[in-house]
Amino acid sequence: MAAPSPPTVPIDISSATAVVTGAYGKFARCALTYDFVSVVTYAIIGEEEELQASLVASMASWPPQLFGMLWLLVGAALLFVGFALIRPINFVTGTYISSSIVILLLTLFAPSTTTCGTIVWMPVVVGLSFGALCAWKRGSMFAVIGLIVGEIVGRLFYNLTLGAWGAPDYLAYSCIGFFSVVFSCMLFYVGDFTWTVACAVGGAFLVIQSLITLVVLPISPESALIHFVEFQWPDITELGNSYYNHEYLSYLTGDAGVYMPWIITLILAGFGMQVQVKLLAQKKERDLMRASQAASLEMK
C-alpha cells in the first residue's frame, strides 16, 4: 500500500502578487500626500531622463581605466575595512524588512484603514526602530541572514543529494528547515567573522580582477587571464545535474587562467581577513575603554 502523499496548499501567485503590489501602491499614494515627499519625488522623476542622458554621455567619454580604478578601490575597501559596513547594512536591511512586513500586515489585517498617517508613519517608525535595533544588536540581524542562507543551502543540498536520488519533494522542506536553524545559530554567534570572510573574499576577487584589467591585459591582450576577468559563476538551478557539475569542475580546474588567479585571490583574502580581524579587535577594545571611562565618570 502506497504511503499517502502529504497535503498540498494551493498558492495563487497572481493573487499574492496583487496583494503585495496593492500594499506598496497604497503606501506610495499616501506618502505622496505629504508635500515634501511629492516635491522631492516629482523633481527626481522630472530630471531622471535628462540626468540619465547626460550621465551616459559623460560616462562614454571617460577612459575605461577609470572604471577599473573604481572597482579596485571598492575591492580594497571590502578587503581591508569591510567589517565597518556591518552596522550600516544591518540598519538598512532591518529597516526595509520590518517596514515591508508592517505594510503587508496593515493590508491583510486592517484593509479598511484609510488614514494616511497610520499607513505611512507606522511602517516608517517601526522600520527605523527595528533597523536601529539590528544595527545595535548585530547578532539578531545575522540570525535573520542565517535563515535566508540556510534556505538556499538546504534547497541546494536537496537538489544535489536527495533530489538526485529520487527522494520525494516534501523532504526539501526538512532540509531547508534543518539548515536554516543551523545557519541562523551559527551566524548569530560568528556573524562578524562570517561577514569578514565574505568581504575579504569579495574584495580580493575585485582587486585581482581589476589589476588584471588595468595592468596585464593592456600589455598582453591575448593573455589567458582574461578568462578570470570573464569568469562564469555557476548556475545554481543546474547544480543538481551531475553532467553540469562535471563540466563546471572541468572549467574551474582545466584552465590556468581561471584557477591560478583564484588561488592568488584566496591567499590575498586570507591576508585581508587577518587585517580586518585585528582592526575589529582594536575597535572593540577602544569601545570597551570608552565604556569603562564613562562608567567610572558616572560613579564619581
196-219 pLDDT, tens digit each: 888 999 999 999 999 999 998 888
DSSP, residue by residue, 49-100? HHHHHHHHHHHHTS-HHHHHHHHHHHHHHHHHHGGGGHHHHHHHHHHHHHHH
**Is residue 11 over pLDDT 60?**
no
**CA dist list (Å): 270 to 85, 100, 202, 225, 230:** 19, 37, 12, 22, 23
- Mean of pLDDT values over 236-262: 83
Q: How sure is the predictor about 39, in pLDDT bands with cuts at 50, 70 and 90?
A: low
> What Cα–Cα distance (Å) separates residue 83 from each residue in 4, 19, 94, 129, 191?
50, 37, 17, 23, 11
Integer angstrom CA distances of residue 149 from 146, 204, 243: 5, 22, 25
Confidence of residue 41 (pLDDT cuts 50, 70, 90): low
Average pLDDT over residues 56-71: 73
Q: What is the mean pLDDT of residues 10-32?
A: 71
Q: Using 50, 70 and 90 to split pLDDT, how confident is the model at 264?
A: very high
3-state secondary structure of 168: coil
Higher-pLDDT residue of 35, 280: 280
| Percentage above 90 pLDDT, the chain | 15
Mean pLDDT rounded to a whole number for the chain: 80
Mean pLDDT is lowest, of 148-152, 228-232, 293-297, for: 293-297
Residue 49, pLDDT > 70, answer: no
- Most confident range (mean pLDDT) of 32-41, 43-52, 176-185 is 176-185
pLDDT value for 7 = 44
Confidence of residue 275 (pLDDT cuts 50, 70, 90): very high
With 70 as the cut, is the pLDDT of residue 8 above it? no
pLDDT of 266 > 70? The answer is yes
- Identify the pLDDT of residue 51: 53
CA-based torsion, 190, 191, 195, 201: positive or negative:
positive
Dist. CA 1–CA 278, nearest whole Å: 62
- Cell numbers for 237: 538551478
Separation of alpha carbons 31 and 38, rounded Å: 8
**What cell numbers appear for 300 in the block?**
564619581
Task: Name all contacts of 163-171 with Cβ < 8 Å and 24+ positions apart.
Answer: 163/240, 164/240, 164/242, 168/6, 170/6
